[in-house]
Amino acid sequence: MSTQELLVEEKGKTRILTLNRAEARNALTKSLLGAVTAALEEAAADASIRCVVLTGAGEHFCAGADLRRTLAEDPDFYDRLETYMDAYHGVIRAIVRCPKPVVAALDGCAVGFGANMALACDLRVATTRAYVQEKFVDIGLMPDGGGTFWLPRLVGTARALKAMFLADRLEAKELDALGVLAACVAPDALATATAALAERLEKGPPLAFAALKASVYAGLGDLEAALRREREGQLRLLRSADAIEGVMAWSQRRAPDFQGA
């Protein structure tokens, strides 16, 4: 079911979930996270759905967490960090546990948690202007949402550490050369290319897809253990003076002065 922040539609046997906060580059609120998780779980349980597409309205996929809105709407945010962390990780679990292929259609930025949603999807179609960026260290945090699990496996440890330590962009053309993308297309061809891929997946054997997806991810290692490590580490960092300094510097548009405390 569509909400103001999440549009849900069906084309053939594909369910398309569109993050609908284009004015904020589809940055995530807690309510949007809940809607995405619920929509993924509904698609997983619906036998008529063969494929799920996750995309963003406008010219971006997702800019990560909407810190401004969260802090403005919830003055007690720091007292409920565990609840927020669980809401974010709930989306990743819903993507991975969905027995249907989940395709990310990427344009513009996939930053922070937005990057990790894209990386958690089974396949990715991106435009030539799309990029993935783990920007967490810029505000004194670490990647979560499985970022430390997915990125090294998709691009290699050395390249992943460089991207995470330096918060460098991974441009679509580089990701395509590394085999991370199913297709890299012009911006005006994203919808068509994604639809063509979804149509191929719709015609595939759903039981086989579910079994091979479960087997592949089981073979990659323990995602749940990675999410637990990220949760524990991120909660400690969120309560650090460096994270507070990082958020303040970001909001004031200045360079942070991290003290290691």
Tokens describing residue 94? 């819903």
- Angstrom distances, CA of residue 135 to CA of 7, 111, 124: 27, 7, 20
- The predicted structure's pLDDT at residue 107: 98
| Integer Cα distance of 162 and 26 in angstroms | 26
Burial class of residue 261 (count of CB atoms within 10 Å of its CB; 0-12, 13-18, 19+): exposed
| Integer Cα distance of 149 and 152 in angstroms | 6
| Integer Cα distance of 66 and 104 in angstroms | 20
Helical packing angle, 81-97 and 223-238, nearest 10°: 160
Q: Give the full edge-to-edge strand order of the sheet including 14-19.
A: 6-11, 14-19, 51-56, 102-106, 123-127, 183-185
CA dihedral angle for residue 158, residue 161, residue 165, residue 167, rounded to 10 degrees: 90
Tokens describing residue 116? 């990790």
Helix (H, G, I), strand (E, B) or coil at 244: helix
- The predicted structure's pLDDT at residue 76: 84
| Backbone conformation region of residue 195, classed left if phi is above 0, alpha if psi is from -120 to 50, else beta | alpha
- Contact at 8 Å (CB) between 134 and 122? no
* φ/ψ of residue 175, rounded to 5: -60, -35
- Contact at 8 Å (CB) between 18 and 6? yes
Mark the ranges of the chain whose per-residue pLDDT is less than 50. none
Helix (H, G, I), strand (E, B) or coil at 171: strand
- The predicted structure's pLDDT at residue 72: 83
- The predicted structure's pLDDT at residue 1: 64
Instruction: Catalogue all structural domains in the chain, each as residue range(s) with its CATH number.
Output: 6-187 (3.90.226.10)
Residue with tokens 């595939």: 204
In 3-state terms the chain splits into helix, strand, coil percentages (rounded to 5) of: 55, 15, 30
- The predicted structure's pLDDT at residue 39: 98
Half-sphere exposure of 195 (CA within 13 A, CB side): 9
- The predicted structure's pLDDT at residue 186: 98
The kind and range of the H/E element at 103 are: strand 102-106
Burial class of residue 94 (count of CB atoms within 10 Å of its CB; 0-12, 13-18, 19+): buried
* pLDDT tens string 89-119: 999 999 999 999 999 999 999 999 999 999 9
